[in-house]
Structure 1
Amino acid sequence: MIAYLLLSVFPAALLIAAANDIYEFKIPNWISLVLVGVYPAAGLAVGAGADILMEGALIGAAALAIGFGLFAAKIIGGGDAKLLAATTPWLGLGSLGVFLFNTALAGLVLALAMRMFRKLPILPVYAHAPWLIRLHERKKDLPYAVAIAAGGLISFSQTPYFQLVIGG
């Protein structure tokens, strides 16, 4: 029961990050901290070995370094870099490629959808939802946590923790 509860933190955190990024163009640090903090506890709860925990930690450290390089180059935002780094340990090396592909594909769909949305005129109904106006007017910004969340959720069933829980 505890294993399922701790395992549910991953999809819940990704959904909260995506919603917050759409709403405010920000990903709160506490979401990444929760993902990083619950990762080892979830691993112990599902019976993951030290090798799986260490692999995740190393992947997360590498993702953080790469993410901050992309942030420094102004390719992605700082919140996106931290969310990617906090997400990758959960995925493990085996499903990392699938996650990155799914995230890139979701990012492409997101970019196309945002482009079409931003070509439409601002409707009067948006006055009741200021976040829609922000989403419409910030033409160079993309709430990429949506793509990260989509990639993570689509790849979740292939993660080592999920496989341990379902007996795969």
Structure 2
Amino acid sequence: MLEAAIFVVFPFCMAFAAISDMLSMTIANRVAIVLVATFAILAPLTGMDWTTYAWHFAALFAVLLVTFALFALGGMGGGDAKLLAATALYMGMSIQLVQYLVVSAFLGGLLTIAILSFRSSALSVYTGRNLFLRNFTDAQKGVPYGIALGAGGLLAYPGSPLMVWAIGRLAGN
């Protein structure tokens, strides 16, 4: 049961955040709350020692501090900031956190270039009313960065401590 929660909750939240940001340009607070609460409950049950547990929360607060500064400066949305911090909790102060941040930044850059190119194309005129593409066509809206954060999180998650533990349990280690 514990392994199932580890395999399902984080990926579902990342996919939900990406789709939600694509459709509504918002990431609900409940996504970050579910991620933090799930980690807070599951991590001790995996045998994670308290020092490591504390370092994971230190990663959350460090990323939250930086992302909220970016939010205050207008460089990032509030939902993106909370999602980044909640995802950092799963990665901890490790190479997985660096991987997540670098991959998400790279994917976000590609996404931004693609959306800006799409907005300046003739195709955007015809797709402006499409439910899935309408936020990509509106030049007044920002970039739904939650798509990149969700994809980056899904790519980095297999190396996270909880996933490594769950895979080890299923492999019989």
Q: TM-score, normalised by structure 1?
A: 0.90
Could you tell me which amino acid in structure 1 is paired with residue 66 of structure 2? I
Structure 1 stretch 85-94 or stretch 36-45: which is displaced more? 36-45
8 Å CA contact 2:25–2:144 kept in 1: the answer is yes
Q: CA deviation at 1:55?
A: 1.0
Distance 1:114 1:124 in 2: 15
The number of aligned residues is: 167
> 2:29 aligned with 1:32, yes or no?
no
Q: Corresponding residue for 1:163?
A: 164
Could you tell me which amino acid in structure 1 is paired with residue 19 of structure 2? A
Unaligned runs of 5+ in 2: none
Q: CA deviation at 1:108?
A: 1.4
Structure 1 stretch 26-35 or stretch 115-124: which is displaced more? 115-124
Q: 1:30 to 1:19 in 2, by over 3 A?
A: same
Secondary structure of 1:26's partner?
coil
Q: TM-score, normalised by structure 2?
A: 0.88
> 2:48 aligned with 1:41, yes or no?
no
Structure 1 stretch 99-108 or stretch 3-12: which is displaced more? 3-12
Q: Corresponding residue for 1:52?
A: 52
Q: What is the identity percentage for the equivalent residue pairs of Structure 1 and Structure 2? A: 31
Distance 1:140 1:83 in 2: 19
Distance 1:76 1:83 in 2: 11
Q: Corresponding residue for 2:12?
A: 12
Q: Corresponding residue for 1:152?
A: 153
Unaligned runs of 5+ in 1: none
Distance 1:28 1:152 in 2: 17
Q: CA deviation at 1:84?
A: 0.7
Instruction: Identify the structure with the greater helix proportion.
Output: 1
8 Å CA contact 1:11–1:153 kept in 2: the answer is yes
8 Å CA contact 1:21–1:143 kept in 2: the answer is yes
Q: CA deviation at 1:7?
A: 4.0
Could you tell me which amino acid in structure 1 is paired with residue 39 of structure 2? Y
Q: CA deviation at 1:139?
A: 4.9
Structure 1 stretch 73-82 or stretch 49-58: which is displaced more? 49-58
